[in-house]
Amino acid sequence: MAPRLTQQVVDLFGLEGLDEDSTAYVDDRYRILRTLGEGAFGTVLLCADEGKQGRLVAVKGLVSPSPTCQRSLMHEFVNARRLRHPQLVSVLDTGVCPRRGIYVVLEYVDGPDLVTVLDEEDRIDVDVAAEICRQIARGLSHMHRQDLVHRDVKPDNVYLEGATAKLGDFGASRARKQQGRATVIFTPGYAPPEAQRGTVGVEADAYALGALFHLAVTGRLPPTPGPRSRSPRVSPLLRRYGGARAEQLARRLLHPKPTQRLSDMQRIQQRFAALVRSNSRRKLRELVERVNLKRQRAHLEKRWAEFEQRFGEAMRPFGLDWVCVECRGPVSEGMLFCPWCGDLLRFRSDASFPRYCQRCEHGLHEAWAVCPWCGERYGATPAPGTRRARDRRYEDHCQACSGPLMRYMSFCPWCGEGYTWHTPGMEETCPGCGFSVAGELFGYCPFCGEVLNEAFAQQASERIHSLKAGRRSRRSGAATRGAWGQRRRHARFGADPRLSRSR
């Protein structure tokens, strides 16, 4: 299902007149999945590169105020395309937007930037910060060998994926031979004193790296040097949290005079490597995983809130009084899959479902002849007198055998008649099972597991599922309880009126 696009994306890439169900492309090649971020000067989209078997890429559209600025930006990104290094985000392609701007196709890094990590953690251990800065110094060393100066080293442009740190955003980069007449691009707090005079070189990248290290260890930027400062200034917290060697290295990097500043990236790598411990990469990987899970949780909660706001009344028949153990999202006992993370749901703990289907592992009533979720048959059709209808969850009757039905049963449990269900207010239909769904919010169909929103599905489940086996092995009774292990204290949508059904 097509993602919803903001007006800024529509205007920048010329997507006016596109139908809601149509797939949007950038330059007829990059299929838009979702928006990663927006700002005053552009937007970043997650796209699938149809020319590379659907490889995920980040397409950054930049609004250029004038043709001269557009040509300048294009020139800098063309220079950056020749940079290929594990610690640098690769620039894969560039192009011109239909509406006065350019777009840049970047390698997609599936992880947070350093700003997000510091927002969650406030500060990080000195050895982990040194490992991040050591890798960034490797990338800067490669850039300097290619006669390019980054000029915008800051936490916003440092991306973390697993135990790997990458430096991105080369819009401010410039050739070293042009440093004497460069326009000041540096972000305040990371700009060296000489940037005010318009003179920036490799020494400026070293200063910004030192400021980044200071921020990561202490949670604060270093004090701004005065116009007549002759010695570097650092916070007393740096020695407290990082030790004497970390303070000494930061002073070498933050020296106000470029000629006395440590600027050789090879030597800087060695200095940071001396602060790294044997388990620093493992700690970095765990830190990134922890932040990713927090981001995933926040993203799901945002979707749950929008789900309540838009479909609260229509979804009362769902009876979402359970939660998925994996992502804590609201689910109903009529669902086979969690619509938020795609986890297989197994409802077996209730006393009224003493056995379970061997095919789909969902709970079964002892009197049912057919699994109502997958259609597996377990016996002959029972006589009408043995069909129990006293359970409050039976809300309708089969049109073929008059047996009682619960909400969202795909098959009659008595005769095997197939059914599809329609929820008022939801006009989208799952292509796999025909049930009505909220495709713009669900990542997966809760009834057949069909992927409804490729972007949500890609974002939602990989990290949650990677931890599932370890958590279940430590959880008592997990083999019989499955993902239906906890009932919600309060039903999110209240009572359950009769659900409309369509054959």
Query: Which sequence positions are flagged as catalytic?
Result: 152
Which residues in 394-455 belong to E strands, given as ranges? Answer: 394-397, 404-406, 420-421, 428-429, 436-437
Q: Can you spell out the DSSP letters for 280-312?
A: HHHHHHHHHHHHHHHHHHHHHHHHHHHHHHHHT
d(CA 215, CA 253): 13
Name the strand (E) or helix (H) holding 181: none
**Radius of gyration over alpha carbons of the chain, in Å?**
28
The DSSP letter of residue 476 is T
8 Å CB contact between 398 and 412: yes
- Contact status, residue 311 vs residue 320, Cβ threshold 8 Å: no
3-state secondary structure of 123: coil
Give the phi and the psi of residue 37 in degrees, each rounded to 5: -175, 155
Q: By the 8 A CB rule, do 48 and 65 touch?
A: no
Find the length of the chain. 503
CB 345 within 8 A of CB 481: no
Contacts of 357 by beta carbon, 8 Å cutoff, 6+ apart: 363, 364, 371, 373, 374, 376
CA-CA distance, 14 to 33, in Å (whole number)? 17
DSSP summary character for residue 451: B
177: nearest Cα among 217, 141, 148: 148
3-state secondary structure at position 278: coil
Distance CA 273, CA 398 (A): 70
3-state secondary structure of 160: strand
Q: Cα–Cα distance between 232 and 236 in angstroms, integer?
A: 13
